A and B are shown apart, each in its own frame.
Chain A
């Protein structure tokens, strides 16, 4: 489709040093690249006049449970001008578990990144207020990681006395 080629062309023009990995599944475009450039690419996609990806729908992470590049952070952004949805992906390793925050680009990514931190333990650099959001503050584990059991760890959450 024309729009997909337009996006690819603009990205190659403006970021020559970045290696983009395009894939399509069920008519959706996914772009994968290095996590160092996430903030520049997102700012470009939002501010560019032809594209205008103004709505950031979703930020989440996938835990692949493999040794190298254990997590992938996924961003779903939507352009109202073209009614088109794009998925951006960046791999995060467990040893170097942090990525730049895009909360200065879209204000909605504030809480979405907090949720990602709470569930997976991925730290976001330059985030205004990175703390847990669903679990209580004293909780020590990260629930959505694959090594955390579904029934929880007994004693990790306190209960009031009868």
Chain B
């Protein structure tokens, strides 16, 4: 494109410009500027700061600045016991809190070598898949809102309220429910909660189709997203992508199939994969995954056996309240576990789970004490934000918003 030179500008304008001694004429005529997409902006993805270098409206460089929500999770884990940390894991990926709970207790049980009864495993699978549906609904809704379709956001939030009602009855809290415990889950499922789950998954297909009917054949939506933010297969693997972002680039990789945990090897489900690697493919992967999760929950409800919901290990699993208040040994065990912790043997493990954003991993080092010596949280959103400069290069400013929405970062997880 043609650049303006000194001779193109009227001499009077030149004079006014040069009165301000900070800028030179070359700076003023060059079309590049630095735009700060600050930590507070309307896209509901949290406090992410982007510094964009623009040439007119095209982005030629981008530097993300994270850390505005760094709360010191890893340092706090070194000072509290494994049980006390469960509510903290809720607030990592705060859109799907029960999935993080499941990830943490799986890591601690791997470290301590605790076996969980089968019914508890099925209940954990059910709440993890419900969390995945909730997270994808918010992702689709806020993504569509960023691109311009405001109605879809309200409709997906209406669906999400139904999931929150389920959690309310099942776990006791609408949101940030610390439902899992080391060795099982907190309480058994009341029958009306299972009825609500069944009603919800029967209706989710039609409700999602209603939302999709506004988007899938919408010319503005498709033109805004097709071919934007393309990432190839090799780049996606090199940048450490996992989860829906990787599956939209053509790599069929899902931790539930690759390294099965809980009872996922007994459930039949597909892994949606698309080849194009652009924003539209990432949207389609998420919409398909909601349907696959509904299928998984249906099978879980059929296969769930009756039985215990907590393992029978008095020295490491907290006993129920009725026993604590009436029997002596349980009272002593409760006291020891709460005050001194579960004391797993010395060693280190890494345990990863397929979360709705990607792979959430916990690396735990234990020295035989009640609190971990080190806890590292491998959060998928942190890894995905790293690839933003590669993705937005060459696109316009309005595409940056669409790309951030399709990557779907959550800053609570990225900043830990």
A contacting B, Cβ–Cβ less than 8 Å: yes
Other A-B pairs beyond A58-B361, A80-B253, A85-B352, 6, CB < 8 Å: A55-B242, A57-B352, A80-B251, A107-B386, A111-B382, A134-B66
Contact B347 A111, beta carbon cutoff 8 Å = no
Closest chain A residue to B63 by CB distance? A129
**A to B CB contacts below 8 Å, 9 in the list:** A57-B359, A58-B376, A58-B378, A76-B361, A87-B350, A107-B235, A119-B74, A133-B67, A135-B67
Establish whether residues B363 and A76, one from each chain, have CB atoms under 8 Å apart when the complex forms.
yes
A79 to chain B, nearest CB (A): 10
* Interface range on chain B (Cβ under 8 Å from partner): 35 or more
A54's closest neighbor in chain B, by CB? B237
Q: A83 to B253, alpha carbons, bound, how many Å?
A: 10
CA distance A19 to B66 in the complex (A): 39
A-B contacts counted at CB < 8 A amount to 90
Closest to B362 in A: A58
B129 within 8 A of A: no
A133 touches B350 (CB 8 A): no
- Given known A134-B67, A134-B70, contact A25–B349 (CB-CB < 8 A): yes
Q: A residues bordering B, Cβ < 8 Å?
A: 25-26, 28, 30, 54-58, 60, 62-63, 74, 76, 80, 83, 85, 87, 106-108, 110-112, 115, 119, 132-136, 143-144, 148, 150
What CA separation (Å) do A30 and B347 show in the bound complex? 11
User: B residues engaging A (CB < 8 A)?
Assistant: 66-67, 70, 72, 74-76, 78-79, 110-111, 113, 235, 237-240, 242, 251, 253, 258-259, 347-350, 352, 359, 361, 363, 365, 373-374, 376, 378, 382-383, 386, 415-416
Check if B383 sits within 8 Å of A111, measured CB to CB.
yes
Residues of B within 8 A of A25 (CB): 347-349
Min distance, Cβ A159 to any Cβ of chain B, angstroms: 15
CB neighbours of A28 from chain B (8 A): 349-350
A83 touches B67 (CB 8 A): no
The docked-state distance in angstroms from the alpha carbon of A63 to that of B375 is 11
Q: Given that A83-B258, A107-B238, A134-B70 are contacting pairs, would A62 and B79 also be in contact in the complex, using a CB cutoff of 8 Å?
A: no
